[in-house]
Amino acid sequence: MSASYLTDGLTIRSWLATTDHKRIAILYAIAITGFFFVGGAAATIIRLELATPAGDLVGHDTYNKLFTAHGVIMVWLFLIPSIPSVLGNFLLPLMIGASDLAFPRINLLSWYLYVAGGLVTLAALFLGGVDTGWTFYTPYSTMFSNTWVTLVLVGVFITGFSSIATGVNFIVTLHALRAPGLTWFKLPLFAWAIYATSLILVLATPVLAITTLLVVAERLFQVGIFDPAFGGDPLLFQHLFWFYSHPAVYVMVLPAMGVVSEVLPCFARRPVFGYRAMAWAILGIASVGFLVWGHHMFVSGQSPAASLAFSLLSFIVAIPSAIKVFNWTATLYKGAIRFDAPMLYALGFVGLFTIGGLTGLFLASLTLDVHLTDTYFVVAHFHYIMVGGAVMAYFAGLHFWWPKATGRMYHELWSRIAAVLVFVGFNLTFFPQFLLGAQGMPRRYHTYPPEFQVLNLFSSAGAGVLAIGYLMPLAYFAWSLLRGAKAGDNPFAATGIEWQTRSPPPTHNFEIPPFVPPRPYDYDAQESGPASGLEVKP
């Protein structure tokens, strides 16, 4: 028996120069956790400030820099890389029976680019910060903002290369390295989701890269491609920016859907309902998601004809999204459901994603959007998708594959308490914001009229509960590393190929070639008795 990937080399160098996808995933997890808590600290100060109507904790300049820092860090340094680069990196080769990604050294390069870009961004934020908001709207960002815009954009530009390299790597891996017999429609839905996500990363990220370069060029040359004072067009910036940034939402939520599609069948002991429809829905969301960016610009002076088309297309994305929600629900039907921590997070995802998705339809409606644009309704909506959706699923995945990655179990009771706290804290934080937005409270102000205080207090209190829910895993995961029970190869009796190898897996993943089940999620066959194919170790 060869050493596990964790014990195969114990020096710092053996980690920082590794090309093992599993170790790189751990490197990502550590870096991403750091950025998550920096971004979370900014959010904490924002919510403390908003506990009272007056601006008594921070001034307006600081407040602007805080919400910009929160947005930039959470979007580019946490949400975009979280599930693909941590869970995707760790699991993709294991799920398809490969020994590594197609380009292991490029994979390591991706991590270094990500960390370099992240540190440049963080340096800019600590040197004095940026006050444009994470959207960098022109001409404010090009002509007026006297803050560290250029440096942050350089940081974002560098992390973009990391995204593209990771995307290319995943695409080629799925095409070239699937185990013999593992055809596309036998792939787990997580692999499908990572595939679609990679397509978006490869095709959308370069547009953000060129947009940031043009903004930097505009600041350096003092010309106005985006600046109306020179005859330029700020709408052009918004088109280019949202051409990336809307698909980027699907970079956050498609992998989350992938995680949930692994967890729900396992803890309901049922095959995924409508597997093929689920796979096609992933591709549908990814493709139509490229055509809806204009719904961010309904009140920006975009032509009404364009708005009409973007509104219709935005409603169309709801169809594959609804297919997924209905199929998850149908998967649960008559299942033997167990409420383990990953399942609690995954169920939380389904509920919160549904609310986030349906409120997205409010915003995709042309007339309603006029009232709701730039209010807290928008803030609540996208936090339901990104935090209620993507972060919940990230935690579901962390718990679900923790035993595989570490060889030890997490503490079941503590993790269930954390999952419930996150769910309650999240709703307490963000549901009041729907009401605030509907009542007309604008986003991005550090003061507000006193009549909004009650709901804001609920929101700030919820943020406290949420913070505890997010800090708890740090403690019980650390405990699990030292004291957790030995997990065994497949503690949840799951059907995925990744569970056939040891926990933690050996460096080259499989010591004997894995068995490819005749169909994915074959939980029915498993229940017929332990003698089924899945239990046979080849």
From residue 254, give the alpha-carbon distance in Å to each of 190, 233, 248, 351.
Answer: 9, 32, 10, 16
Quick one: which segment of 210-218, 301-309, 446-454, 463-471 binds another protein (CB under 8 A)?
Answer: 210-218
Candidates 226-234, 307-315, 386-394, 518-526; binding stretch for another protein (CB under 8 A): 226-234
Of positions 40, 71, 88, 97, contacts another protein by CB under 8 A: 97
Please identify, using beta-carbon distances, which residue of 87 and 209 lies nearer to another protein. Answer: 209
- Of residues 203 and 337, the one with the C-beta less far from another protein: 203
Contacts with another protein by CB under 8 A: the residue count is 53
**2 binding another protein? (CB under 8 A):** no
Choice between 80 and 516, CB closer to another protein = 516
Under the binding rule (CB under 8 A), the answer on residue 234 touching another protein is no
Q: Examine residue 214 and tell whether it contacts another protein (CB under 8 A).
A: yes
Residue with smaller CB distance to another protein, 178 or 381:
178
3-class SS of residue 529: coil
Would you say 287 or 453 has its CB closer to another protein? 287
Nearest to 324 by CA among 378, 256, 268: 256
CB of residue 207 vs another protein: minimum separation in angstroms? 5
Q: In whole angstroms, how close is the CB of 154 to another protein at the nearest point?
A: 15
Structure token pair of residue 78: 């946490």
With CA atoms as reference, report the closest residue to 443 among 424, 459, 422, 427: 459
Closest CA to 35 of 60, 3, 83, 72: 72
| Separation of alpha carbons 360 and 249, rounded Å | 12
Least distance in angstroms from the C-beta of 77 to another protein? 21
Dist CA 532 CA 518 (whole Å): 12
Site for another protein (CB under 8 A): which residue of 91, 207, 385, 392?
207
The values of phi and psi at residue 375, to 5°, are -105, 180
Per-position DSSP letters for 473-519, written without gaps between them: HHHHHHHHHHHPPB--S-TT---SGGGGS-SSPBTTS-SSPPP--SS
Residue of the chain from 156, 240, 248, 257 that contacts another protein (CB under 8 A) = 240
Beta bridge partners of 169: none
In angstroms, the CA 220 to CA 16 distance is 36
Binding mask 478-517 for another protein (x = CB under 8 A): ------------------------------xxx--xxxx-
Is 181 among the residues that bind another protein (CB under 8 A)?
A: yes
Nearer to another protein among residue 219 and residue 371 (C-beta): 219
> Closest distance between another protein and the C-beta of residue 86, in Å?
22
Q: Which is nearer to another protein, 415 or 501 (CB)?
A: 501
- The answer to whether 430 and 462 have CB atoms below 8 angstroms apart is yes
Q: Tell me if 368 sits within 8 A of 362, measured CB to CB.
A: yes
Phi, psi of 411 (to 5 degrees): -80, 115
Q: Which of 168, 318, 366, 420 binds another protein (CB under 8 A)?
A: 168
Does 439 help bind another protein (rule: CB under 8 A)?
Answer: no
Among 27, 43, 98, 385, binds another protein (CB under 8 A): 98
CA distance 259 to 396: 7
DSSP assignment of 132-166 equals STTTT-TTIIIII--SSHHHHHHHHHHHHHHHHHH
Contacts with another protein by CB under 8 A lie at 97-100, 102-104, 164, 167-169, 171-172, 175-177, 179-181, 202-207, 209-211, 213-214, 217-218, 221-225, 230-233, 236, 239-240, 243, 508-510, 513-516, 538
